[in-house]
Chains A and B, each alone.
Chain A
C-alpha cells in the first residue's frame, strides 16, 4: 500500500504502533508514546518504529556556526573521536554553494596531455577506488582578534575530517597521458566564483585524489558535490570543490586566490606564495569555553594534525607552559589526519592555564604566538597561523580562552 493511498498518515501509524504494542498499559502512558524522547521510563513503553532516515537525538543540538554567508565553523568542542559528521563539516565558498545535477556534470582534463578527455561521475566510479581519512583545514583558520568568551568552534572551527572516497588523480592523469614538460595543473570549480588554483604536478603523483564520497555517502553540496579535488595536508582552498576542469601546463597560472589572497607577507618585504602545506597544530577541545569544571578528575582532550605527515607527540601543560606532559595519542595515528589526544587531569580547584603543543614527524614543534609574530610580523595574517592556544580555568571552574593581542 503506497503512502498516498494509506488512510493513516505515517505519524499516525507511528503513534498506533506505540499504542498497540503498549497493550493494556495504563492510559497515562499514551501521551508518553506520542513523544517517546520524553518518556520517564523508556522500558515501559514501545519506542518509535523503524524509519527510512535516522536523525540525531532531539537532546543533541549540534550546529555549525555560519558567518558572512560564505563560511560556517565546525563545533570542534562538541565532537568526539576524529571524524566530522558530514553535515557539520566546515564551509568556505567564494560564490555560494552551487546546485549541481550530477548527470550533467563532467570533468575535463586537457592542456599538456596526449588525449584530452571528459569524465562523467559514472566514469570516475568505474576506476579503481581509493579511500582515505584526512583533514581539510582552511588556511585562514585562526581568529587573531578573539575575545576570552570564545569556543574552539569560534576560534578555529575551519578544520574538519572525513573519510573520502574517489579515484587517484594519478590514475586519471595516466588515462589522458601527461606530456613530459608539464609541471603544474590548474584546478577549476563550477561554482559562481569559477574557483581556480594552480597545483604542482608532483602532488598528483604523490597522493591527490578526485573524490565523490564523504563518510560513506556522496559528498555534501557544501563540500563539492558531485566531485572535488582532495590534496591531503594542503590548505583548504586548493581542494577545489565542484571540480569541472584540470588543465596541465608548464607554469603556475597565478590566479587571484594564490596571488592576492592566500599569500604570507614576510618581514623582509616579500610575500610567500604557494605555502600550501599546513604546518602542525593542536587544539584543546575540552576543557574550553563555555564549560564549567567541577573539582576532581577531568580528561583534557583535543585534536592535533599536520600536513607534513604524522603527529609524533602532543604535550599538554596545566601551568601556563612551565612544565609539559606527554598526552596519549588515540591510534591509529594517520598521516595528514586529525589525531585525538587526551590526558587525565585531577583539578584541585586552583586557577590553572591549560595549553597543548604538537610535534610532527619532521621535528616541527607547534610555535607560540610570540614565535609566529616575531618570525613573520604582526601584520602577516590571517593565513597559515597555527599558534599554541591556552585556556584559563578560574577558581570557580569557569573556563575562558586566553585572549592576547596579536602584537
Chain B
C-alpha cells in the first residue's frame, strides 16, 4: 500500500514537471489571429460619431426655418412648443448673464443654451437617437436644420443661419468654459 502511494505521488510529481514544461509552449502570443478584416464601407456605415472639432460631420445643410418645420412635425410632442413645456427634456432657455446656478439651485433647468458645452454633440445625438419613435431616421439635412433651429431658439445663432460641416464646429456654446475635468484624486478629501 505504501509502495503504491509513493508510486502514485511520484507519478503526480512527474506529471507536474511535464505539465510545467508544456506550459512554456503555450505562453500567450501578442495576437491570436482572430476577428475579420473590415472594408472602409463597413466602417463608414457604423462610424456616425461627430466630434467637437467637426470630425465626422457629413455632407448636407439645413436652415433655421427648415428646422422649425421639422421640429413641429417630429419633436414638438415630446419637447413642447418652442422647446419648453413638453413631457421630456426642456431644450430651450438662457439665463440672465449666462449664469450657471445649477450647483446651488436645484430648481434651475439645464437646457442646450445654458448647459450643453458643444454644438457638435447636438448633431451627434439627434442623428443617432432622435426622434424617440423613429431613432436614426433623419436625413443629414434634417439634422443640420434641427440643430440650427434649436441653436437659434437658444439665441446662439441668428435666424438666417444655415448649418453645414463648414460652420457647425465653429460655434462656441455659452456654457463651454464651465466644464472641467474630474478634480477628485482619491484619498480622504471629499469633493
Contacts and interface: CB of A to CB of B under 8 A. Distances in A.
B59 to A, nearest CB: 20
Interface of A: 94-95, 108-110, 115-119, 123, 126-128, 171, 174-176, 186, 188, 192-194, 196, 244-245, 247, 249, 251, 253-256, 259-260, 263, 265-267, 269-277, 279, 308, 362-365, 367, 371-372, 375-381, 406
B190 A371 contact: yes
Interface stretch (B1-9, B24-32, B66-74, B155-163): B24-32
Contacts, number: 169
A253 B136 contact: no
Interface in B45-65: 46-49, 51-53
A381 B107 CA distance: 11
Query: Residue among B35, B42, B52 with the most chain A CB within 10 A?
Result: B35
B129 interface: yes
A244 B46 contact: yes
A274 B182 contact: yes
A48 B36 CA distance: 49
A115 B37 contact: yes
A287 B105 CA distance: 34
Given A188-B49, A371-B190, A379-B104, A263 B179 contact: yes
B120 A254 contact: yes
Contacts of A378: 104, 106
Given A123-B34, A194-B48, A255-B125, A375 B190 contact: yes
Contacts of B37: 115-117
Nearest to A196: B49
Nearest to B50: A253
Contacts of A251: 51-53
The 3 closest A-B pairs by CB, nearest first: A377-B103, A117-B35, A265-B102
Nearest to B191: A375
B117 interface: yes
B180 A272 contact: yes
Given A108-B43, A116-B38, A260-B110, A271 B104 contact: no
B31 A259 contact: no
Given A267-B103, A271-B179, A379 B38 contact: no
Nearest to B125: A256
Contacts of B186: 277, 308, 362, 364
Contact of A245 (B46, B105, B107, B124): B46
